[in-house]
Structure 1
Amino acid sequence: MEWFTADAYWLSRLIFQRALAVLYVMAFLGAALQFRALIGERGMLPVPRYVERVPFRAAPSLFQLHFSDRFFACCAWTGCAVAVALLAGVHGLLPLWGAMLLWLVPWALYLSIVNVGQTWYGFGWESLLLEVGFLAVFLGNDRVAPPVLVLFLLRWVLFRVEFGAGLIKMRGDACWRKLTCLDFHHETQPMPGPLSWFFHHLPKPVHRIEVAANHVTQLVVPFLLFTPQPVATGAACLMIVTQFWLILSGNFSWLNWITVVVAVSALDLSAWHTAPEVADAPVWYEVVVSAVTVLLLAMSYRPMRNLLSRRQVMNRSFDPLHLVNAYGAFGSVSRVRQEVVIEGTADTVPREDSDWRAYEFKGKPGDVHRWPRQFAPYHLRLDWMMWFAGLSPAYARSWFGPLVERLLDDDRDTLRLLRSSPFPPGSPPAYIRARLYRYRYTTWHELRETGACWERTYVREFLGPTRLARTAQQE
């Protein structure tokens, strides 16, 4: 059927698939390098303990059937290798059914990871990667032109991402309606980037323009995705420009990057490339794609109802396979940045004047003289959760104690998640404490005078001096 495929999106599909493969590589790489301390057999939130109380139907995963650190590492590195193969275009050399199966592998592996990842994998971009990755299975390869139905479903994802984020802002914090949220957001966002200090110091009228432009892009432009070309391409381009502005302003894992990738699928790039002639799509492929489209549209009822609800929630999955989800970000914006600073001392009797030394994290602010770095689209999971801990101890209740225990035990896998430890290997501290500080960006004058990009003020104790229980028993 001629209506089933769209030759004009041949180049768009090529870029989309290669870029999505890169994001898969980043996701699996992060899982392979960070899992042991987070969810490994001796991790802060071990997978074996989780699967004992959560049934397979609620969280389908390979690791419900078997888990060991070696098996998890094998799955993560396999996912990384398959993603590299997809990036190299191996799926284009396979029969259509073979290409679909190859795209299914990273989706199934990453689904297995997310469904046992607990708090560490509770971010909206995890579900977004899975939803988009599932659609990529049915996007075809060089043997067929891109199917119109899958292209439509990708636009439907992009619509929900942008429109959902716009609505949650307008329904949430009043500063979005007053156009003042960016007076605070660049300073209080979870993980600032190398340019965030400069974004914060832009003139306030520019911040107002930023917020207003964001509202237009998220509340008006998404509807244009479903209009004829070239309007839809123009709408997608506006979204891409906005996302790159956000990429420059902070570290938001792969949230902005995957939004750009999905927007690329809406671009008509036929003027830049002539699609090769291909045979008609096989009937079985048309049937499968049509059936999946009907299924996903039917499942969209709950995310759509959430969009229209006054009690809209952000980043919610409505099925254990994460096929159709609700999205949104920053429905409220913190006015003050609070950071938890973890310190240790070798003194056997901890006092206020003991030699307390701070652990430094890779991405989250610590040393006031250390300038933030760019990590996104790589996701530093512990750093992000430390930001939540600064908002409220309730966010850290399940994992902060185990983190402290592992630092006191000189756990190698946990220390690898950090930028640096103030104690030499094999000589862990006797006590650890955590203190809450208020951080703010320095002014231009303060930056020139001190060289520090942050200024911090002590707020209160987050965790009193703590030592290992077995050490106390020995004494």
Structure 2
Amino acid sequence: MEWFGAADYEFARQVLQRGVAACYLIAFISAVNQFPVLLGDHGLLPVSRFTAHVRFRQSPSVFHWYYSDRVLRILAWTGATLAAALVAGLPQQGPPWLPMLAFLLLFAGYLSIVNVGQTFYSFGWESLLLEAGFVVAFLGSEQVAPPLFVILFCRWLLFRLEFGAGLIKIRGGREWRDLTALYYHHETQPMPNPLSWFAHHLPRWFHRSEVVGNHFAQLVVPFFLFAPQPIASVAALIVILSQFWLVLTGNFAWLNAVTIVLAFSAVDDGTLRALLTWLPAGQAAPDAPLWFVLVVSLATGLLVVLSYWPLRNLFARRQLMNASFNRYHLVNAYGAFGTVTRQRHEVVVEGSDAADPADETGWRAYEFRGKPGDPVRRPRQFAPYHLRLDWLMWFLALGARDTRWFEMLLVRLLEGDRPTLRMLRANPFPQAPPRYVRARLYRYRFSTPAERRETGEWWVRTDVGLLVAPITLSWRSRA
């Protein structure tokens, strides 16, 4: 069945399967480390309360039947182990149903986590990882040639990801149209990394060039992913290079990693061997069994049908960003940063063990792992790992409506809850929890080169005022 197989995309299959599996590995380890604290039995937004009000059919998850932190850890460690095996390429050496089953188990397990994850799992890259895992499940094993339908659907996924993001920007804030968006983005993005300060201080002509390059990479290049080779491979290379610049200058969990992996669906073995002459020639794979052809055809047919809604969304006046059109997060709409904020605000949580909360000398700040806090602390690199609490703190500073999780965070700090404190970088009250906690709002900006030479500070901050006045545990009991 020559029409079914894409024998010249074996390297692409290896990158797609192992790369997506690596992102699942990170996601499951993140769940082990963070889910029980954020959403567990004693979490900020317990799963049990969510499943009591949301039915299984609305948000499918095994945790509708039973949840405990122990069960969550078993599921997550099982998923991490399975993902590690796929990264090593072990299931891919068996029959084509083996990697298919492995990826579908990863998909089902992570879907169970995402669908009860509430605001902590509301990010677009959760849906992206789920969709990518489901699609690459049907790439088969080394015993069959990569199915052409699946390779093309990976490109369609990449097209929606990039072109959707480009349209969101053009339809969004004026700063993307007048080419000034990158004057602010490196400073105001959710979680700057060690190079963000340097990127922010590049010349303005460079920032304008960044915006032009972004528009080209997201609005023009995606169409060439479906062109004949080697044009498609060149288009993929442009996407990869643009994503590496985002990796160098920001922390966006596994969003950029998955995008880079998907771009390899447009790179054929022939182009790679022309560039890397030392690569061995591929071996012809036997014809795929009939059952595999039927399963892959049915799966891709389903995905094509589900593509109607995101395709319509691309051309809608009110384009949805990072939206799922079904409860299984298959064939979604993507996009980010339709507008870029020009000022950065940060919420700084403080505690005091003084008898009088009016005594300003008693207040000490809690430091988070990734989000800006102490001005002298240089931003860190965490991606592709995802610090969920830090990200929500960024949305909180923007005026997020749902603040239940933050109220519970303050309670846990007053209780001196050890699992919650381990989510933070430092606990300023190691001996006993504070009497009071409060939250202040600051405006942050990157220091200038002269300011950093003089003070050693990466950030300069200005006090805006109280966001939450001093509270105690007695406040919580009255509430």
Report the TM-score range of the alignment, normalised by the length of the smaller protein. Answer: over 0.9
1:17-28 alignment to 2 at 5 Å?
A: 17-28=17-28
Aligned to 2:466: 461
Find the aligned partners of 2:147 and 2:366 in 1 and give their Cα distance: 51
1:309 aligns to 2:299 (yes or no) = no
Query: Which residue of the other structure, out of 421, 439, 444, is the alignment partner of 2:449?
Result: 444
1:319 aligns to 2:326 (yes or no) = yes
SS, match of residue 232 in structure 1: helix
* Cα distance change on mapping 1:67 and 1:471 into 2, 3 Å: closer
Find the aligned partners of 2:326 and 2:423 in 1 and give their Cα distance: 31
Find the aligned partners of 1:470 and 1:243 in 2 and give their Cα distance: 47
Find the aligned partners of 1:131 and 1:239 in 2 and give their Cα distance: 19
8 Å CA contact 1:11–1:273 kept in 2: the answer is no
Cα-to-partner distance string for 1:157-181 (whole Å, 9 max, x where unaligned) = 0000000000000000000000000
Percent sequence identity is: 56
Find the aligned partners of 1:150 and 1:234 in 2 and give their Cα distance: 20
How far apart are residue 100 of structure 1 and its match? Answer: 1.2
Aligned to 1:432: 437
SS, match of residue 317 in structure 1: coil
Cα-to-partner distance string for 1:208-252 (whole Å, 9 max, x where unaligned) = 000000001100000001111111110010000000001101101
Cα-to-partner distance string for 1:399-440 (whole Å, 9 max, x where unaligned) = 110000001111111111100110115x00000000000000
Find the aligned partners of 2:224 and 2:379 in 1 and give their Cα distance: 37
Cα-to-partner distance string for 1:129-179 (whole Å, 9 max, x where unaligned) = 000000111011111110000001000000000000000000000000000
8 Å CA contact 1:199–1:249 kept in 2: the answer is yes
How far apart are residue 388 of structure 1 and its match? Answer: 0.4
Find the aligned partners of 2:280 and 2:208 in 1 and give their Cα distance: 39
TM (norm. structure 2) is 0.97
Find the aligned partners of 1:347 and 1:152 in 2 and give their Cα distance: 63
How far apart are residue 393 of structure 1 and its match? Answer: 4.6
Residues 274-283 or 299-308, more deviating: 274-283
Find the aligned partners of 1:339 and 1:300 in 2 and give their Cα distance: 39
Aligned to 2:78: 78
Find the aligned partners of 2:475 and 2:195 in 1 and give their Cα distance: 45
* Cα distance change on mapping 1:277 and 1:411 into 2, 3 Å: same
Could you list the runs of 4 or more consecutive aligned residues of structure 1 that deviate by over 6 angstroms after TM superposition? 470-473
Cα-to-partner distance string for 1:160-207 (whole Å, 9 max, x where unaligned) = 000000000000000000000000000000000000000000000000
Find the aligned partners of 2:378 and 2:320 in 1 and give their Cα distance: 34
Aligned to 2:412: 406
Find the aligned partners of 1:49 and 1:328 in 2 and give their Cα distance: 31
Aligned to 1:300: 307
1:382-393 alignment to 2 at 5 Å?
A: 382-393=389-400
Aligned to 1:421: 427
Aligned to 1:350: 357
Find the aligned partners of 1:293 and 1:77 in 2 and give their Cα distance: 30
Aligned to 2:285: 278
8 Å CA contact 1:187–1:337 kept in 2: the answer is yes
Unaligned runs of 5+ in 1: none
How far apart are residue 291 of structure 1 and its match? Answer: 1.1
How far apart are residue 470 of structure 1 and its match? Answer: 7.7
8 Å CA contact 1:243–1:256 kept in 2: the answer is yes
Find the aligned partners of 2:455 and 2:77 in 1 and give their Cα distance: 44
Find the aligned partners of 1:180 and 1:93 in 2 and give their Cα distance: 50
Code of the residue aligned with 2:5 in structure 1: it is: T
* Cα distance change on mapping 1:390 and 1:76 into 2, 3 Å: same
Aligned to 2:296: 289
Unaligned runs of 5+ in 2: 274-278
How far apart are residue 99 of structure 1 and its match? Answer: 2.2
SS, match of residue 435 in structure 1: strand
Code of the residue aligned with 1:379 in structure 2: it is: H
Count of residues paired in the alignment: 471
SS, match of residue 52 in structure 2: helix
Find the aligned partners of 2:210 and 2:269 in 1 and give their Cα distance: 28
Cα-to-partner distance string for 1:102-146 (whole Å, 9 max, x where unaligned) = 121111100100000000000000000000000111011111110
Residues 436-445 or 14-23, more deviating: 14-23
TM (norm. structure 1) is 0.97
Residues 176-185 or 267-276, more deviating: 267-276
Code of the residue aligned with 1:10 in structure 2: it is: E
Code of the residue aligned with 1:445 in structure 2: it is: A
Aligned to 1:137: 137
Cα-to-partner distance string for 1:84-111 (whole Å, 9 max, x where unaligned) = 1111111123222122111211111001
8 Å CA contact 2:345–2:442 kept in 1: the answer is yes
8 Å CA contact 2:92–2:98 kept in 1: the answer is no
1:328 aligns to 2:339 (yes or no) = no
Find the aligned partners of 1:170 and 1:231 in 2 and give their Cα distance: 25
1:51-450 alignment to 2 at 5 Å?
A: 51-270=51-270, 271=273, 272-395=279-402, 397-425=403-431, 427-450=432-455
8 Å CA contact 1:37–1:414 kept in 2: the answer is yes
Code of the residue aligned with 2:120 in structure 1: it is: W
How far apart are residue 21 of structure 1 and its match? Answer: 1.6
Find the aligned partners of 2:306 and 2:280 in 1 and give their Cα distance: 35
SS, match of residue 55 in structure 1: coil
Find the aligned partners of 2:417 and 2:109 in 1 and give their Cα distance: 27
Residues 158-167 or 297-306, more deviating: 297-306
8 Å CA contact 1:62–1:112 kept in 2: the answer is yes
Find the aligned partners of 1:370 and 1:422 in 2 and give their Cα distance: 16
8 Å CA contact 2:7–2:285 kept in 1: the answer is no
Code of the residue aligned with 2:435 in structure 1: it is: A
Code of the residue aligned with 1:306 in structure 2: it is: N
